[in-house]
Homo-oligomer: A and B are copies of this chain.
Amino acid sequence: MNKPEIPDIIVSRLPVYLRALRHMQAQNQQTTSSQELGAVVGISAAQIRKDLSQFGEFGKQGTGYNIPFLIGKLREILQIENVWDVAVIGMGDMGHALARYQGFSDRGFRVAMVFDNDPEKIGTEVGNFVVKDMKNLVDTIRKADIKVAMVCVPATAAQQVATHLVEAGIKAILNYAPISLNVPSNVRVQYLDPSVGLQRMTYYLE
């Protein structure tokens, strides 16, 4: 698929629309409107129509959006029609939570392997996984052709882990460590730092 030049801010909203549409579908709803979707996700109807129109003509004047159809289109656009294998690095509390997380199912991802460098953790079981030794990270990930990783190591170790992940061929990193990572421009990083999420909101508090 030849990518149209879409601003990242628009791409960032598509998973949110998808999540809301899946929720409607789970409640056996068949169609929705940009107004209704907007009310659910807190984004204006006009913005939603504009965002979706970047990718095609998905709704009909008067009848709105067919939910299963729009879900299919969004999954296609976001390239999650198939399941991506994901490596989780760092088996602290957060890594444990992610290794056992039920929320990936049917959303395009599956934890495939987990790593730590602590001899007391290597070889133990976490959820359905045996913790692998971080020193084999590059080879193991490369051999399995995994492209997506989640990093849950301490901030002090995160950059070194990221460098190894890039060497292993990882192209998308979800980073839970509270530090910005330096990676080549062809590798994407998203940050799930709870302090950053909270600080975005305290700006508005009175």
Interface residues of A (CB under 8 A from B): 3, 8-9, 11-12, 14-16, 18-20, 23, 39-42, 77-80, 84, 86, 92-94, 96-98, 100-101, 103-104, 107-109, 147-148, 150, 155, 171-172, 174, 178-180, 182, 188-206
| Residue in chain B with minimal CB distance to A107 | B195
Q: Please, which residues of chain B bring their CB within 8 A of the CB of A80?
A: 199, 202
Q: Please, which residues of chain B bring their CB within 8 A of the CB of A19?
A: 178-180, 193, 195-196
| This chain's copy number in the assembly | 2
Knowing A97-B93, A97-B96 are in contact, say whether A190-B201 is a contact too (CB < 8 A).
yes
Report the separation of the CA atoms of residues A86 and B66 in the bound assembly, to the nearest whole angstrom.
40
Interface centre among A19, A23, A202 (most CB of B within 10 A): A202
Q: Please, which residues of chain B bring their CB within 8 A of the CB of A107?
A: 178, 195, 199
| Residue in chain B with minimal CB distance to A6 | B203
Q: Please, which residues of chain B bring their CB within 8 A of the CB of A180?
A: 16, 19-20, 23, 40-42
Q: How far is the CB of A142 from chain B (nearest CB, A)?
A: 16
Report the separation of the CA atoms of residues A199 and B155 in the bound assembly, to the nearest whole angstrom.
24
B20 touches A201 (CB 8 A): no
| Residue in chain B with minimal CB distance to A39 | B182
Q: Please, which residues of chain B bring their CB within 8 A of the CB of A198?
A: 84, 86, 108-109, 148, 172, 174, 190
Question: Which residue of B3, B9, B98, B100 contacts A9 across the interface (Cβ within 8 Å)?
Answer: B9
Report the separation of the CA atoms of residues A120 and B92 in the bound assembly, to the nearest whole angstrom.
23
